[in-house]
Structure 1
């Protein structure tokens, strides 16, 4: 690939032109275009940034500030960890949790709810410690 072709690919990606259109115009394999763009950070996010158009996915779910998306990794939904915590705290009631289990504590015998763990035996750490060390002392006598 010549320097002129690389420059042309760069210009076309900044205009938001697809890989297949660039491929047909420059008569280069589409996979070669994709590889070049990936190596030089000219993917979809690059085309969006230059046009200045923000998706709803490019703003924080909590505060609405623009989020700078990286070229690799998972798509970011929140601008900071604090925004993520605040959003989940405010929207906790909208989540449909299905993994609640009603169990009986082996230590005190009271009924308690456990989320996501059906094999839990104690309602609290205090019950676990009390049961463990109370039983250990009886065995030694």
Structure 2
């Protein structure tokens, strides 16, 4: 890697660009960029973005935030999926719960809802309305 490439990596990371975008622009491997950044403390947690604009976490494109909406972190679905694929250590899925169905007794898991009682809509209808007949 040349000194010029190293300087560009530092500049691009300070702008908030992702490893893949930098590697593509400089014609080097994403993993080479990632290794250089880790050795030089240029990971996303260590970088202070120098401008006050919101940028995509993966590619660094400026994101225009919508008022009264949740802050966007990625510019598109492709960038979001790519970033999460490259950062599996950041996934913290703690909201998976295990239950036993109140109707059929089958064990099941549910994500995000710790108050589930039934494994399916069919079991809910039978358990709640006694079979859900016509009427």
Q: Does the pair score TM above 0.5?
A: no
- TM-score for the superposition, normalised by structure 1: 0.41
Bigger helix fraction = 1
- TM-score for the superposition, normalised by structure 2: 0.42
